[in-house]
């Protein structure tokens, strides 16, 4: 991978920063862009970005993917070997509240990226999709399943973007790896994710709010595993879709709270509320295809991952609380 020039969109995000770090360690030239104006805490974004700016083979551009003019200026300046497109509005519940924002960022923004790629003849795209497209299906989820029944606008925008990617693959020969991520977690993660909020609430003695009875389960995927899978997806595959998940789907929210209690040494006060119709009751990835074609599989078990999250929180909570 040495000497390859790769554009990473959403580089100050949770997955973007970890992916960029792996590319930089492999001597790639990484051009990162991020709008720095999404719903994440700005301090957390700056924390991630500061670690990337220590590398001489990294450069950063504050650009919104909805700004086609700025994107074209960037593509004209560099000859990209590949694009890893991670920039997006994320989160199921928020998409129901702000549907227009999700539409413009996730669909129009992705279209802008695809247009620049075909115009400047960039032949490889890794696109970040989501397990949310599988809503309503039985677990475990397979890439070949029909995913035409999204129950959130977030899932709708990601599915529409997958289809646009296929169109540009068909029309212009762009090689596309679609990655459907499953509940990514880890240190320095998104503040809106349940594990991040649960850790802080339990530590501060605040009630832990759960929508449902806590028996709903998620295929939790550790951030380093996901970033490694994202880099491996730079392989030429034509057009293909890959599940990247923990591969088991046996961990409930109640069990996650038990682990956090254990590592914090504090007891949680749990408040159960009505289940939200926009939420999925279970996610579970079949990852056989990623194992076979990308030579990827997760390495970090859930207990270790949660322990790492709690330790990171305790080491940084002086500024996280702000």
| Cα–Cα distance, 125 to 268 (Å, whole number) | 43
* pTM (predicted TM-score): 0.95
128 within 8 A of 111, measured Cβ to Cβ? no
For every one of its 322 residues, what pLDDT tens digit does the chain have, with 9 covering 90 and above? 768 999 999 999 999 999 999 999 999 999 999 999 865 578 889 999 999 999 999 999 999 999 999 999 999 999 999 999 999 998 888 888 889 999 999 999 999 999 999 999 999 999 999 999 998 888 899 999 999 888 889 999 999 999 999 999 999 999 999 999 999 999 998 888 899 999 999 999 999 999 999 998 899 999 999 999 999 999 999 999 999 999 766 799 999 999 999 999 999 999 999 887 767 778 899 999 999 999 999 999 999 999 999 999 999 988 876 6
Catalytic residue among 154, 168, 185, 263: 154
Name the 3-class secondary structure at 9.
strand
DSSP 154-194: HHHHHHHHHHHHHHHHHHH--EEEEEEE--EE-TT--TTSH
**Does 140 sit behind a cis peptide bond, omega within 30 degrees of 0 on the bond before it?**
yes
Q: What is the pLDDT of residue 136?
A: 81
Q: What is the pLDDT of residue 94?
A: 86
181 within 8 A of 226, measured Cβ to Cβ? yes
For residue 257, count other CB atoms closer than 10 A to its CB.
23
Domain boundaries, the chain: 5-184+222-247+283-299
263 is catalytic: no
Give residue-wise pLDDT tens across range 37-52.
865 578 889 999 999 9
Structure tokens at 106: 């996730």
Q: What is the pLDDT of residue 39?
A: 54
Q: What is the pLDDT of residue 248?
A: 67
| Cα–Cα distance, 85 to 210 (Å, whole number) | 32
Q: Would you state the CATH architecture of domain 5-184+222-247+283-299?
A: 3-Layer(aba) Sandwich (3.40)
Give residue-wise pLDDT tens across range 155-201.
999 999 999 999 999 999 999 999 999 999 999 988 888 999 999 99
């Amino acid at each position: 991978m040495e000497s390859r020039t790769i554009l990473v969109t959403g580089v100050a995000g949770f997955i973007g920063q970890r992916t960029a770090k792996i590319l930089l360690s492999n001597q790639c030239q990484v051009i990162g862009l991020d709008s720095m104006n999404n719903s994440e805490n700005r301090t957390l974004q700056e924390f991630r970005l500061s670690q990337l700016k220590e590398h001489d083979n990294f450069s950063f551009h504050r650009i919104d993917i909805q700004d086609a003019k700025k994107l074209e200026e960037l593509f004209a300046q560099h000859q990209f070997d590949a694009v890893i497109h991670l920039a997006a509005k994320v989160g199921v519940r928020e998409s129901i509240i702000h549907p227009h924002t999700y539409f413009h960022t996730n669909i129009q923004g992705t279209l802008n990226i695809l247009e620049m790629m075909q115009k400047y003849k960039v032949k490889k795209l890794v696109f970040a999709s989501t397990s949310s497209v599988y809503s309503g299906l039985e677990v475990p989820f397979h890439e070949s399943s029909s995913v035409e029944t999204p129950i959130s606008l977030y899932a709708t925008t990601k599915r529409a973007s997958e289809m646009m990617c296929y169109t540009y693959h068909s029309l212009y020969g762009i090689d596309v790896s679609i990655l459907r991520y499953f509940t990514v977690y880890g240190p320095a993660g998104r503040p809106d994710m349940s594990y991040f909020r649960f850790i802080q609430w339990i530590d501060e003695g605040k009630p832990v709010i759960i929508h449902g009875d806590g028996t709903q389960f998620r295929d939790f995927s550790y951030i380093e595993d996901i970033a490694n899978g994202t880099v491996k997806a730079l392989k030429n595959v034509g057009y293909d879709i890959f599940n990247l998940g923990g591969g088991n789907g046996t961990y409930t929210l109640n069990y996650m709270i038990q682990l956090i209690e254990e590592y914090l040494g504090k007891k949680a006060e749990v408040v159960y509320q009505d289940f939200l119709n926009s939420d999925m009751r279970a996610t579970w990835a079949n990852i056989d295809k990623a194992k076979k074609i990308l030579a990827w599989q997760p390495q970090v078990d859930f207990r270790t991952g949660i322990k790492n999250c709690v330790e990171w929180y305790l080491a940084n909570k002086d500024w996280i609380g702000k």
